[in-house]
Amino acid sequence: MSTYVDEGVVLRRVDYGEADRILTVLTRQHGKIGVIAKAVRRSGSHLASHSDLFARSTMQIARGRGELDVLVQAQRAGPVPPAGDARRAACAALCAELADRVLEGGHPLDEGLYELVAAALEECADSSRDPRAAVAWFARRMIDRLGYAPELRNCAGCSRVLDEVPAHFSAAGGGLLCDACAAADPGAVPCPVRVIKVLRVMEAEDAGLYARLRLDAPTLEVLETVVERELEQHVDRRLRSLGVMRSLWTAGTPGYP
């Protein structure tokens, strides 16, 4: 049985049989693949911690005879969200579910896409950063990949150049709307100038500048709402993790604003 080595992140896992686990893994060189980790749920398994949900690992994988390859060895190559931090785990789950939904299996990844997913999961685990910022950035990149880049400089309704004043974001309308056009979408999200500037940084894909921005709680709340509306508009089925994360945002979590 031939084997290969690749780096991967675990997007999804399902218990199988008495002790096995089926993993959906996004790999750097082979794209999204299905892998079975045998006996990983048994006490003392050397693979358990290195193939955990959201884990980034260097993996030795044997080619299987069917649809699933077999995980032979794994060595952790990055952090995972703390098990006791519900907010970070929920944010990582949304990033993983969105990547799993958008990316097709069996195809090589576009350049930089693996790093984008792995970085989002690691940022959700970074105790020095608010995981909501990582989710907003990652979701924006995935929505762009689906072909739904919003109009942020001209009104998406009348095409008039937008002044540096608050506007409304309409996922159904395709971007920012001026006050006159916003009346056509009662669900449009009011966006202060600060939020509009952040959305334009995201549009430019300037990850370095975005990471340096100091996003206060009100700004993050509006960004979250914009992203949530876009995901509901453009992803065929509702993301299960979105509801979990939203409930945590609404209820509040100790240690977060």
Q: What is the DSSP string of 105-169?
A: BTSPPPTTHHHHHHHHHHHHH-TTS-HHHHHHHHHHHHHHHTT-PPB-SB-TTT-PBPPSS-EEE
Do 134 and 9 fall within a single domain?
no
Do 42 and 122 fall within a single domain?
no
C-beta separation of 68 from 17 below 8 A: no
**Domain termination residue (choose one: 58, 76, 94):** 76
Instruction: Check which CATH number belongs to the domain holding 34 and give it.
Output: 2.40.50.140
Do 67 and 181 fall within a single domain?
no
Domain assignment present for 257: no
**Domain termination residue (choose one: 76, 111, 132):** 76
Q: Looking at residue 81, what is its pLDDT? A: 61
Strands 189-191 and 3-16: unpaired
Average pLDDT over residues 138-146: 91
How would residue 1 be classed by pLDDT, with cut points 50, 70 and 90? Answer: low
Do 46 and 104 fall within a single domain?
no
The pLDDT tens digits of the residues spanning 212-229 come to 999 998 999 999 899 989
Residues 231 and 98: their CA atoms lie apart, in Å, by: 9
**Domain termination residue (choose one: 20, 55, 76):** 76
Do 212 and 143 fall within a single domain?
yes
Do 173 and 220 fall within a single domain?
yes
- Domain of residue 156, residue span: 86-251
Domain assignment present for 46: yes
Residues 173 and 151: their CA atoms lie apart, in Å, by: 9
Do 56 and 103 fall within a single domain?
no
Q: Looking at residue 257, what is its pLDDT? A: 46
pLDDT of residue 248 exceeding 70, the answer is no
Strand partners, 191: 167
Q: Looking at residue 255, what is its pLDDT? A: 47
Six token digits for residue 177: 């709307």
Do 39 and 101 fall within a single domain?
no
Average pLDDT over residues 15-20: 94
pLDDT of residue 83 exceeding 80, the answer is no
Do 69 and 99 fall within a single domain?
no
Instruction: Check which CATH number belongs to the domain holding 222 and give it.
Output: 1.20.1440.120
Domain assignment present for 243: yes
Do 173 and 92 fall within a single domain?
yes
Q: Looking at residue 236, what is its pLDDT? A: 67
CA angle 21, 31, 53 (to 5 degrees): 35
Overall number of domains in the chain: 2
Domain assignment present for 256: no
pLDDT of residue 82 exceeding 80, the answer is no
Domain assignment present for 147: yes
Do 230 and 138 fall within a single domain?
yes
Domain assignment present for 81: no
Average pLDDT over residues 110-134: 90
Domain assignment present for 99: yes
Using a pLDDT cut of 70, give the percent of the chain over it. 92
Residues 37 and 39: their CA atoms lie apart, in Å, by: 7
Do 41 and 148 fall within a single domain?
no
